[in-house]
Amino acid sequence: MAKLPKNVRIGRNGRVGILKKVPRDLWEHPQYRDRSKVIERSTGAVNVTEGVKIACAMLQDLEQEFASARAELYAIEALHTHEEEALPDEHHEAEISPDGLSAAEGSKPPLPAPFNDSRPAPRRREAEATRRDILDAAMEEFAAKGLSGARVDAIAARTRTTKPMIYYHFGSKEKLYAAVMEEAYGGVRTKEQGLHLDALPTEEAMRRLVEVTFDHHAEHPEYVRLVTVENIEMGRHITGRKSLIERNAIAIETVQDLLRRGEAEGIFRTGINPWHLHFLISSFCFMRVSNRYSWRAVFDMDLWDEEDVPAQREMIVEAILRYVKP
């Protein structure tokens, strides 16, 4: 086998990857300060020729990453230097001008924008757009073929980026899948939070919550397929993800808040478990999407029949409202 290029290696799993030290002058950069000073990334490729090409591209991207980090460090150092030079001499009193400003205050130029300016740099905006593009494509691929059947090559083909950049942003297919799962759950939670239910009368708010849940499942069958796949995987890719747990806790809090309001107003009965109510709402909305084809095969009835959908939507709303009333 031909000698591998510098910083390219073959891992124990037979996949080609890169192994490169973080330059010493970047060790104090926030991105590398508390992390390993050796960067190890896999191309995902077993074929050496293909893997070397991907690895070389990854190394080029890494050099660009280092250059960007180095420029940011220079900006931080320049800011600190400027601030120190602007401090008045401790051994001399500052001259006060007629308008009340010291000579130092009146003459010094404005400070440069701080490092953590809220306006993203062009490269950062581009990286965010690339990540968004990858997530959208990956969601389609994983929803259609599951984790084991999906291929990173196919995901790359759906995007405006390359396979190396997918590994650069997410590290592995499994990590990309976990990010997609979090994105899928986040979609319905974001929609719920945008309803502003606290501004609606309680019963109307409950009705609206059920309607939006029904509509979201109907409009996003890929979400249902992804959740189904993850249950086949026994939830191992999302278990323990703190951000996912925290975000979905909002769903229970929303239901709990509506129940408390209804109880206080005397329009909902007491003692309803918010997890049970959330389960009741979600199960109906989920099953009519997940079981569409098996239902049609067994009962010769399409749950997505346009003429029947409005009746199904009203049925779950009515069922929930009757369940919560005294």
267 shares a domain with 234: yes
163-199 per-position pLDDT tens digit: 877 887 887 888 899 889 888 888 878 877 777 898 9
Q: Does residue 111 belong to any structural domain of this protein? A: no
Angle at 138 between CA 134 and CA 140, to 5 degrees: 125
Tokens of 313: 């939507």
Point out the domain boundary residue: 142, 171, 200. 171
Q: Does residue 90 belong to any structural domain of this protein? A: no
pLDDT of residue 167: 80
130 shares a domain with 77: no
pLDDT of residue 72: 65
237 shares a domain with 217: yes
Point out the domain boundary residue: 145, 171, 197. 171
Domain that holds residue 150: 124-171
Q: Does residue 106 belong to any structural domain of this protein? A: no
Tokens of 168: 């650069």
pLDDT of residue 73: 67
Angle at 238 between CA 180 and CA 133, to 5 degrees: 10
How many domains does the chain fold into? Answer: 3
Tokens of 17: 């990857």
pLDDT of residue 119: 41
**Under 8 Å between Cβ of 33 and 46:** no
> The domain that contains 185 carries what CATH number?
1.10.357.10
Q: Does residue 145 belong to any structural domain of this protein? A: yes
Among the listed residues 98, 101, 170, the one whose alpha carbon sits nearest the alpha carbon of residue 134: 170
277 shares a domain with 299: yes
C-alpha 60/C-alpha 62 separation (Å) is 5
157 shares a domain with 240: no
pLDDT of residue 30: 64
pTM of the full predicted structure?
A: 0.60
| Residue 19 β-bridge partners | 40
Within the chain, which residues score under 70 in pLDDT? Answer: 1, 30, 72-124
188 shares a domain with 135: no
pLDDT of residue 115: 42
146 shares a domain with 12: no
pLDDT of residue 116: 46
